[in-house]
Chains A and B, each alone.
Chain A
Amino acid sequence: NAGVTQTPKFQVLKTGQSMTLQCAQDMNHNSMYWYRQDPGMGLRLIYYSASEGTTDKGEVPNGYNVSRLNKREFSLRLESAAPSQTSVYFCASSDTAVISNQPQHFGDGTRLSIL
């Protein structure tokens, strides 16, 4: 039982390059989330998808795009990477079929460095 799977685990990019971070969950959860975590700042929500077919901005959406490909998969794209986007990125999912404020299950993270 994999839970939430993120790929890749590590990536180094040059400024201006593009990249897509992949996330898939096998728990049949409705909602999926992308966070970034920087030292001393906790987790900040980038985008979320309350259900298949919907996406919404979080706290720090600038410079990112997302796609909810199907119920299982939610990808995060950096169109033109900037050094300020160097961070650890976490994907999460939660079961919100009944109520929205459910605990989240996290993937192992993607450590992204932009040079």
Chain B
Amino acid sequence: QKEVEQNSGPLSVPEGAIASLNCTYSDRGSQSFFWYRQYSGKSPELIMFIYSNGDKEDGRFTAQLNKASQYVSLLIRDSQPSDSATYLCAVNKGGGFKTIFGAGTRLFVKA
């Protein structure tokens, strides 16, 4: 079992729809959770981070964390073609310096 698992996709949604990206992790001691966006040929850039159970909203993005289910998700409202990218889920293990990345989910927003 991978430590951080994501559906590789591609996830295809129409412009204006809600895109839902999911991630599960195996280490119950994980404390910090990050979502990065990576355009093809570019470096990852931080979208959201979340430390506590529940929802955290930032503009069109909402991160959701459920530690009991070891599940973290990213919702993108009013999806735009410019949101088409690979989204990487990352989990920090036990508050240390090691962050484990999932393989990423490719999102395609159709105009």
**A interface residues (Cβ-Cβ under 8 A, vs B):** 31, 33, 35, 40-45, 48, 50, 56, 58-59, 90, 96, 99-101, 103-109
Contact B42 A104 (CB under 8 A): no
For A107, the chain B residues whose CB sits under 8 A away are 43
Q: Which of A41, A45, A90 contacts B98 (CB 8 A)?
A: A45
For A43, the chain B residues whose CB sits under 8 A away are 44, 88, 90, 101
Q: Which of B4, B51, B99, B104 contacts A45 (CB 8 A)?
A: B99
Contact A100 B95 (CB under 8 A): yes
Contact B97 A48 (CB under 8 A): yes
Contact B44 A41 (CB under 8 A): no
Contact B92 A101 (CB under 8 A): yes
For B71, the chain A residues whose CB sits under 8 A away are none
Report the contact-size class of chain B (Cβ under 8 Å from the partner). Answer: 20 to 34
Binary contact track B93-111/A, C-beta < 8 Å → 1, others 0: 0011111111110000000
Shortest distance in angstroms between A54's beta carbon and chain B's nearest beta carbon? 10
Contact B8 A100 (CB under 8 A): no
Contact A103 B34 (CB under 8 A): yes
Q: Which 3 A-B pairs have the closest CB atoms?
A: A101-B32, A101-B92, A42-B103
For A101, the chain B residues whose CB sits under 8 A away are 31-32, 51, 92, 95-96, 99
For A33, the chain B residues whose CB sits under 8 A away are 97, 99
Interface set, chain B 1-51, CB cutoff 8 A to A: 4, 8, 31-32, 34, 42-46, 49, 51
Which of A33, A42, A99, A109 has the most chain B CB atoms closer than 10 A to its own CB?
A42
Q: Which of A42, A44, A50, A58 contacts B88 (CB 8 A)?
A: A42
